[in-house]
Amino acid sequence: GDSVTQTEGLVTLTEGLPVMLNCTYQSTYSPFLFWYVQHLNEAPKLLLKSFTDNKRPEHQGFHATLHKSSSSFHLQKSSAQLSDSALYYCALSDGDNNAPRFGAGTKLSVKP
Amino acid sequence: GPKVLQIPSHQIIDMGQMVTLNCDPVSNHLYFYWYKQILGQQMEFLVNFYNGKVMEKSKLFKDQFSVERPDGSYFTLKIQPTALEDSAVYFCASSLGGRDTGQLYFGEGSKLTVL
Residue B50 in 3-state DSSP? strand
Cβ <8 Å between B43 and A44: yes
For residue A67, the distance in angstroms to the closest alpha carbon of chain B comes to: 18
CA torsion, ordered A35, A97, B88, A41, to nearest 10 deg: 30
Asked if residue A100 has a cis previous peptide bond (ω within 30° of 0), the answer is no
The confidence score (pLDDT) of residue A99 equals 81
The confidence score (pLDDT) of residue B113 equals 97
The confidence score (pLDDT) of residue A56 equals 72
Torsion angles phi and psi, residue B85, rounded to 5: -75, -5
Size of interface A-B (CB pairs under 8 A): 66
Q: What is the pLDDT of residues B48-74, one digit of tens each?
A: 999 899 999 999 999 999 999 987 789
Cβ <8 Å between A97 and B102: no
CB proximity A44 to B under 8 Å: yes
Cβ <8 Å between A89 and B43: yes
Taking phi over 0 as left and psi of -120 to 50 as alpha, with beta for the rest, A97 belongs to left
For residue B44, the distance in angstroms to the closest alpha carbon of chain A comes to: 8
Residues of chain A under the 50 pLDDT cut? none
Q: Homologous superfamily of A3-111 in CATH?
A: Immunoglobulins (2.60.40.10)
Domain boundaries, chain A: 3-111
The confidence score (pLDDT) of residue B97 equals 79
CATH number of B5-114: 2.60.40.10
Q: What is the pLDDT of residues A11-20, one digit of tens each?
A: 999 999 999 9
The confidence score (pLDDT) of residue A53 equals 59
Q: How far apart are alpha carbons B82 and B36 in whole angstroms?
A: 14
